[in-house]
Amino acid sequence: MSTEQHWHTAWSPEDCERVLTALEGAKNLRILVVGDLMVDAYLLGRVERISPEAPVPILRAHQRERRAGGAANVARNLKAMGVEVTVAGIIGKDQDGEDLMMELARLEMDTRGILPLEHRRTTVKTRVMSGGQHLLRVDEEDDMDLDSDASQHFLEKLSAVLKTADFDAILIEDYDKGALSPTVIEGLLGMARERQIPVTVDPKFRHFDLYKGVALFKPNLKELKDGLGLLWENGDADAMQKALTEGLDRLQSNWQPETILLTLSELGVRVRTAMADVQQPAHPREILDVSGAGDTVIAVATALLAQGLDPVSMAQVANLAGGLVCEKPGVVPIDPDALMAEVRRLPIQA
């Protein structure tokens, strides 16, 4: 790739065609998603009055929904793009775990990488919603790191899965729920290096510093700030940008990812490589729910990078995808047709 062709920030007709080709090409990929699996549950209704027993709203519930969440939602996004997906993670030997396995089977995903454990609950996040607005979230989970025996069993399962097929990428989705213990992270990264499989990571705080030498590291603003101990006063935009640049410098120097994709919510995204440092603004949206937007961003970014798309174009499209899913209530996967339509609408620049 010539730097002149691929590292400019203007959007050209050639950029558009290259991206559309890569989005279509997702159907030819096989990706292993490893991480914290969970059930996203919803209690939907409408609030019409306040309780006489306490100053809290009364929800008149009319619907319950359950969806595959966490790393499984990342897998849903990849599947929606046409990717062949293998899912790996930890569930409990409980009804919630069985329900999650049934849902993944319904979605035609390979679940041979999932390890059920006897003394561990399946993570369930229940969102109570009224008219598309969050009222409350209830988390049921065991979030301690896997012990040494469980970590070893999980690594054995991952090793067996990696022998079954040639994977184009491994996507690690860390929600700090314990499936990705230090032992699992170290072992999985070692297996990926041996097989020369690119690894993309959506990190959380607990093991932020363990993901070294990966192809893509995608923290959000809070994760970068807390993971590196960055400081700035609220509202001081200049100080924030200075701290973020220093943080990205440290991350690049100490962890040596090939690409960093920093998501900045309403400020857009910032992509950093050895050759570029570009911030792209968010696109105007009617934001209904930000839940799951990060899952969509890492899924789209991984599918594009696995095909060799340049990081600046990748960031532009992943940024678009994350915004699109925020227009719908609840955790939903990307609509590839809507994403391709958005890509075609991007203004062409000289």
pLDDT tens figures, 268-298: 889 999 988 998 887 655 544 456 688 989 9
What would the DSSP string read from start to end of 90-126? EEESSHHHHHHHHHHHHTT-EEEEEEEETT-PPEEEE
Is residue 250 in some structural domain? yes
Annotated active-site positions, please?
295
Which residue would you say has higher pLDDT here, 335 or 249? 249
Residue 327 has pLDDT above 80, yes or no: no
Is residue 130 in some structural domain? no
The Cα–Cα gap between 36 and 45 comes to: 28
Residue 2 has pLDDT above 50, yes or no: no
What share of the chain has pLDDT > 70, as a percent? 92
- Give how many domains the chain has, as a whole number: 1
Which residue would you say has higher pLDDT here, 267 or 220? 220
Inter-residue contact 124 to 41 (CB < 8 Å): yes
How sure is the predictor about 128, in pLDDT bands with cuts at 50, 70 and 90?
Answer: very high
Q: What is the pLDDT of residue 13?
A: 84
Is residue 62 in some structural domain? no
Is residue 109 in some structural domain? yes
Antiparallel, parallel or unpaired: β 133-140 and 123-130: antiparallel
What is the pLDDT averaged over residues 12-16?
A: 86
Is residue 214 in some structural domain? yes
How sure is the predictor about 59, in pLDDT bands with cuts at 50, 70 and 90?
Answer: very high
Is residue 84 in some structural domain? yes
Q: What is the pLDDT of residues 144-159, one digit of tens each?
A: 999 999 999 999 999 9
Range of the domain at 184: 3-41+69-124+142-345
Q: Which residue has the tokens 């006897």?
A: 118
Q: What is the pLDDT of residue 6?
A: 38
How sure is the predictor about 322, in pLDDT bands with cuts at 50, 70 and 90?
Answer: confident
201: CB partners within 8 A, 6+ apart: 171, 172, 174, 211, 214, 216, 217, 218, 257
Is residue 10 in some structural domain? yes
Find the CATH number of the domain harbouring 181. 3.40.1190.20
Residue 75 has pLDDT above 50, yes or no: yes
- Mapped to the 3 state alphabet, what secondary structure does 198-251 carry? CEEEECCCCCHHHCCCCCEECCEHHHHHHHHCCCCCCCCHHHHHHHHHHHHHHH
* Arithmetic mean of pLDDT over the chain: 90
Is residue 129 in some structural domain? no
